Amino acid sequence: MKKFYMILGAALMMSSAMFAQHTIDEYKFIASDVAIEKAGGLGDLEVSLESPEVLANACFYISLPEGITVGYDPDLEDDMIALNEEMCIVKGKKAHTVQYGNAASGYMVAIYNTYLDEDITFKQASGKLVTVTLQAAEDLDNGEYEGKLVNCDMDNFTTDLMKKNGWSSKVFPDVPFTIKVGTGTGINEIEAAEDGWDGAAVYDLNGRKINGKPAQKGVYIKNGKKVVVK
């Protein structure tokens, strides 16, 4: 894997003839929602491609909210990005290459082949392309945050391989996704609770089940939410 740093967006890269028999709205990216158990934790963003035909390359630009970054593996000394072998060719002499890195407004990922004289296509038309592991900052509050995939301006892409292959730029709509931080306990908020105890699933903060309304004041978990008994 190789890193690079550029101001780029999100798009698919393909020869100019590929759209001859299909309309632009038949090509799209799909971004999964991301679940991160707690602040400082990790969660996976899966980016998939839907296409009416088998393509050779793809490029997308991830816009992330403040406090969310792409994860870094200190053992590998590399960002946490993995190509999907069911979709991409990742072994052997002729294989796909992934380039990535921080840009001025987000994070760029480009998947393409390294051969100038031929297209090394994906194994199938549609499917998961890549998993990008995201990390929440240690001081980030629990809650829902919004990210998105943004269109890539290939006119600004200066990689020689891109230019020599003559790949064209197509405009795609932004693809939003949700990042949920604080998903590990299922506890979303604290509220005062005076009724509704019959049949409720109630636990103390040590995980012990309690039948009915607790006799003592304190904080408990009722139906997956923190509640205060006064």
pLDDT of residue 166: 42
- pLDDT(189) > 70: no
- H helices within 16-165, ranges in order? 160-165
- Per the DSSP assignment, residues forming a β-bridge with 61 are 108, 150
Average pLDDT over residues 195-224: 71
Report whether 177 contacts 45 (CB < 8 A): yes
pLDDT of residue 173: 75
Domains (range + CATH), the chain: 2-181 (2.60.40.680), 190-229 (no CATH)
> Cα torsion at 141, 142, 144, 147 (round to 10°)?
50
- pLDDT(88) > 70: yes
Model pTM above 0.85: no
For the ranges 59-73, 152-166, 172-186, 195-209, the lowest mean pLDDT is seen at 152-166
Q: 60: which 2 tokens?
A: 């997308």
pLDDT of residue 151: 74
- Exposed/middle/buried for residue 37 (C-beta within 10 Å: 0-12, 13-18, 19+): middle
Report whether 125 contacts 55 (CB < 8 A): yes
- pLDDT(220) > 80: no
Q: How far is the C-alpha of 11 from the C-alpha of 168, rounded, in Å?
A: 10
